[in-house]
Amino acid sequence: MLKTVSRFLSLLTLVGIAGVATATTNSVVTVAGKGTGTCCGSGFTLYTDSGINLQAGQSASISASGVWDVCGHGCASDADGLGDYNAGMTGAPGDNVTGSLMGSLDGGATWTLIGVGPTSVVGPGELLLAANDWNRNINTCTQNGAPFPGSCYWDNTGSLTVSIAVSDPMPTDDNQCKNGGWRNFGVFKNQGDCVSYVHSHQH
């Protein structure tokens, strides 16, 4: 269900966090309702790889716009999906509605609701995006009698434009600031500034 039609990795935007300007990389990914590859073929995948690999502790804010139809018969929705039935892509029936935008950071083993957003996710992991159109619990999508998600996606239409703002990694320990390490983050004036940031963000 997804195809990265276009991706614009661009612009470093400065966002103030507790007096520190942190760099944010903005990306735009087009996610199609159909899966990538040939439907029901060995090359099919139900997700779009955003190309964004979050490091541990690194966060991304995700927002989506547009309309897709995951029923093939006039059930268009935005990224929040439809209220008519639950696809249960997360593996737990009833948690996410059909047509909602989902995200995964572990290769598709588990999924979480993204929706219209903005929704924040925290790494580590490669960010995958997909339409919620498959219930892994009851295997409603089959091919030749065997479970195959692709058979649920072949009739999907439309796409979403997904905006992803990724914050650059920030230090989480004093040692990352020492011996010139503060310079690696590109936002601190000196080592003391870096250490102060770490202390102000410890929980």
Question: Would the pLDDT of 144 be above 90?
Answer: no
Binned at pLDDT 50, 70 and 90, residue 122 comes out as: confident
Question: Would the pLDDT of 94 be above 50?
Answer: no
Asked whether residue 160 falls in the same domain as residue 200, the answer is: no
Give the whole-angstrom CA distance, residue 54 versus residue 28: 16
Total-model pTM: 0.71
Question: Would the pLDDT of 153 be above 90?
Answer: no
| Number of domains present in the structure of the chain | 2
Give the pLDDT mean for 65-77.
85
Amino acid letter at 203? Answer: H
pLDDT of residue 42: 62
Q: Greater confidence, 193 or 161?
A: 161
Q: Which domain holds residue 86?
A: 10-169
Give the pLDDT mean for 161-180.
88
Question: Would the pLDDT of 1 be above 80?
Answer: no
Asked whether residue 53 falls in the same domain as residue 103, the answer is: yes
Asked whether residue 154 falls in the same domain as residue 182, the answer is: no
Check if the beta carbon of residue 90 is closer than 8 Å to that of residue 111.
yes
Residue 2 lies in a domain: no
Evaluate the omega torsion of the peptide bond into residue 147 and state whether it is cis, within 30 degrees of 0: no
Question: Taking all residues of the chain, what is their mean pLDDT, rounded to a whole number?
Answer: 76
Cα four-point dihedral sign 108, 130, 90, 71 = negative
Give the pLDDT mean for 76-96.
66
Check if the beta carbon of residue 80 is closer than 8 Å to that of residue 163.
no
Residue 28 lies in a domain: yes
DSSP assignment of 51-96:
EEEEPTT-EEEEEEEEEEESSSSS-EE-TB--SS-B--TTSSTTSS
pLDDT of residue 163: 97
Q: What is the per-residue pLDDT across 12-22, written as a single tens digit (0 to 9) for each?
A: 333 344 444 45
User: For 12-21, 80-89, 152-161, 191-200, which range has the lowest pLDDT when averaged over its residues?
Assistant: 12-21
First to last CA, the chain: 39
Check if the beta carbon of residue 157 is closer than 8 Å to that of residue 174.
no
- Cα-Cα-Cα-Cα dihedral of 28, 34, 40, 46, to 10°? 50
Asked whether residue 115 falls in the same domain as residue 176, the answer is: no
Asked whether residue 121 falls in the same domain as residue 190, the answer is: no
pLDDT of residue 5: 29
Judged by DSSP in three states, 181 sits in helix
Give the pLDDT mean for 4-25.
40
Asked whether residue 63 falls in the same domain as residue 154, the answer is: yes
Asked whether residue 26 falls in the same domain as residue 69, the answer is: yes
The single-letter DSSP state of residue 168 is P
